[in-house]
Structure 1
Amino acid sequence: MDRLFANGTVNALELGPGSSQAPALFLFHSLLSDRASFDAIAPRLARSHHVVVPELPGFGRSKAVGGGLAAVADRMAEAVKDAAAGRETIVLGNGYGGFVALQMAIRHPAIADKLVLADCGAAFSQSGREAFSNMAAAAKAKGLSAITDVAMRRLFAPEFQAAHPELMRDRREAFLNTDTKVLQDACAALAELDLRAELWRVKVPVLVLVGEHDEATPPTMSVELAQMLPDARLEIISGCAHVPQLQAPDVFLDAIGDFLAVGQSVP
């Protein structure tokens, strides 16, 4: 069931047991995808967690917010606090959703008890920054159709695309429904992002995951992130790219299972 949070500004799907004892698990989607990227895992996670799958600001029915990534993180912190309703809280972010979750944890240290950061990092290399700037410029000049192939390559390895034509048609359609201005603003924010000096503020346990073949946020970014966070563990998911929960849901669930268990932390 969809509900609105943060004074009606954030739309989210809720799944799972109604018990207030079930931990709240938030799933933040990537920039080049949408919340449907969690469709393969959300129902299974909802067996043990109160799962909340929001549309990030500017996506779907969630209202856009100005002010860069910090403002997006603040909006999502409001939504998380509202939807969690006092439960133990875990936030899982993939790609752009991971950057939002990380910024949120820095700015609102008490917002979550655990974090899962999949395929993100604290800062991009110069080539990574240029890639976002180029995507934003191309989208502005020619529209999203001009960068769809690039976007899909950043999400999925070519071999995976060739083997799953129906899924790729769905993912292309979802990408083309993205608000161009929201995409441009997010690309600009990521091109300038550097959270490394603030990672010490994240005191909660963090599981850092990355697909072995991630082109959008290469594994080196996750390695650096895990090394710099005070309490983190790194897992590299073999055979996967930027959205492992969609590419290999069983493998992804195995990777996060122990960490999500109540009372578990980073060993």
Structure 2
Amino acid sequence: MTASEQDTITARLAAGVVEYRLDGEGQQVVVVFHGGHMRAGLILGEEVFTTSGYRVLIPSRPGYGRTPLATGITPAAFADVTADLCRDLGIGRLAAVVGISAGGRTALTMAARHPHLVERVILQSAVAFLPWPNRRTRLGGRLVFNVSAEAATWAAVRLLMRVAPQAGLRLLLRDLSTRPVRHVVAGLSERDRAELIALFTLMRSGEGFVNDMLAVPDCAGQVTQPALVIASRTDRSVPFAHAESLAATIPGAELVESRADGHMIWFAPDYPAIAARIEEFLTAG
């Protein structure tokens, strides 16, 4: 199914406005913190939870979508906001918090600050507390994804995806994999190519991405919940060292190596096996 914008809701909490989406059925809830350039209305990697009978709560992190940056400028502040949102929605326990890419630090911080609320932690291509991003991405990100430029940047991406989608796909995947981009694109099915093109077309950065690049306090050693860390060695965007760091720091964490050609582990041939491991992890014990 081609990616599309989903309906979202805004809640006004003590800290400010937060945009969110609550999908799926069942009693147990999983919170998903998406990564850079994503917001609550976009879907990525949620099906493994909804098809397993969980509800997914997806908030737009600060600076993305309709969540203002002021609602929670740090991972610690937004972890507290998300805990307040759970209380507001009558959610007293989370089966897991999921941190994807730049959302990893928020997921880890929420687990550390709210252990009574969070049962497990799942990290997918997640940014840890090592220096991130690299100097080239930091400088380029501040240039093309700052709040004054990002609308024009993504308008150019949308135009490229309309007139030359394969070229656009190569352009955006180049920075997500250490492998030659032609091999990365060749390894995708036609369905996956269409899904990625649609997803990239819908992305925006708002004030969020520049904020994501700021250093934050390391709380990985304070995470006591079971943790599943999933990453690929060919990820250029978030090097595999981040996953290794988290697996070494979080007591009892399990590191699962994806065979994906880069950052987008959900589009790899081995993702069904990884999804099965996620399902097992959620029900273990």
Aligned to 1:82: 88
Q: Deviations over 1:56-103 (max 9, x none)?
A: 222222232254333233323322443462234311111111111112
Paired residue for 2:198, among 170, 174, 183? Answer: 170
Paired residue for 2:60, among 55, 63, 72? Answer: 55
Aligned to 1:30: 35
SS at match of 2:209: helix
**Structure 1 portions without partners, runs of 5+:** none
Structure 2 counterpart of 1:221, one-letter code? H
SS at match of 1:231: coil
Structure 1 residue 232 corresponds to structure 2 residue 253: yes
Aligned to 1:16: 24
SS at match of 2:84: helix
Q: For 1:232 and 1:43, locate their aligned partners in 2 and report how far apart those are by CA, in whole Å.
A: 20
SS at match of 2:69: coil
Paired residue for 2:111, among 90, 96, 105? Answer: 105
Structure 2 counterpart of 1:86, one-letter code? G
Structure-2 change in CA distance of 1:43 and 1:35 (3 Å):
farther
Paired residue total: 252
Q: How much does 1:141 deviate?
A: 9.8
1:16–1:48 contact (8 Å) kept in structure 2: yes
2:37–2:208 contact (8 Å) kept in structure 1: no
1:93–1:116 contact (8 Å) kept in structure 2: yes
2:74–2:216 contact (8 Å) kept in structure 1: no
Q: For 1:40 and 1:200, locate their aligned partners in 2 and report how far apart those are by CA, in whole Å.
A: 26
Structure 2 counterpart of 1:178, one-letter code? S
Q: For 1:15 and 1:201, locate their aligned partners in 2 and report how far apart those are by CA, in whole Å.
A: 30
1:106–1:202 contact (8 Å) kept in structure 2: yes
Q: For 2:149 and 2:44, locate their aligned partners in 1 and report how far apart those are by CA, in whole Å.
A: 27
2:230–2:255 contact (8 Å) kept in structure 1: yes
Paired residue for 2:76, among 70, 78, 91? Answer: 70
Q: For 2:95 and 2:107, locate their aligned partners in 1 and report how far apart those are by CA, in whole Å.
A: 12
Paired residue for 1:115, among 104, 117, 121? Answer: 121
Structure-2 change in CA distance of 1:113 and 1:260 (3 Å):
same
Q: For 2:113 and 2:267, locate their aligned partners in 1 and report how far apart those are by CA, in whole Å.
A: 29
Q: Percent same amino acid at aligned positions?
A: 21
Structure 2 counterpart of 1:12, one-letter code? Y
Q: For 2:239 and 2:98, locate their aligned partners in 1 and report how far apart those are by CA, in whole Å.
A: 18
RMSD over aligned Cα, in angstroms? 3.2
TM-score, normalised to structure 1, is: 0.78
1:207–1:233 contact (8 Å) kept in structure 2: yes
Which has the higher mean CA deviation after the structures are superposed, 250-259 or 143-152?
A: 143-152
Alignment of 1:208-219 (within 5 A): 208-219=229-240
Structure-2 change in CA distance of 1:43 and 1:141 (3 Å):
closer
Aligned to 1:134: 139
Structure-2 change in CA distance of 1:102 and 1:182 (3 Å):
same
Paired residue for 2:276, among 254, 263, 266? Answer: 254
Structure-2 change in CA distance of 1:40 and 1:30 (3 Å):
closer
1:17–1:46 contact (8 Å) kept in structure 2: no
Q: For 2:87 and 2:268, locate their aligned partners in 1 and report how far apart those are by CA, in whole Å.
A: 30
Structure-2 change in CA distance of 1:200 and 1:183 (3 Å):
closer
**Structure 2 portions without partners, runs of 5+:** 1-6, 158-167
SS at match of 2:92: coil
2:99–2:105 contact (8 Å) kept in structure 1: yes
Structure-2 change in CA distance of 1:82 and 1:133 (3 Å):
same
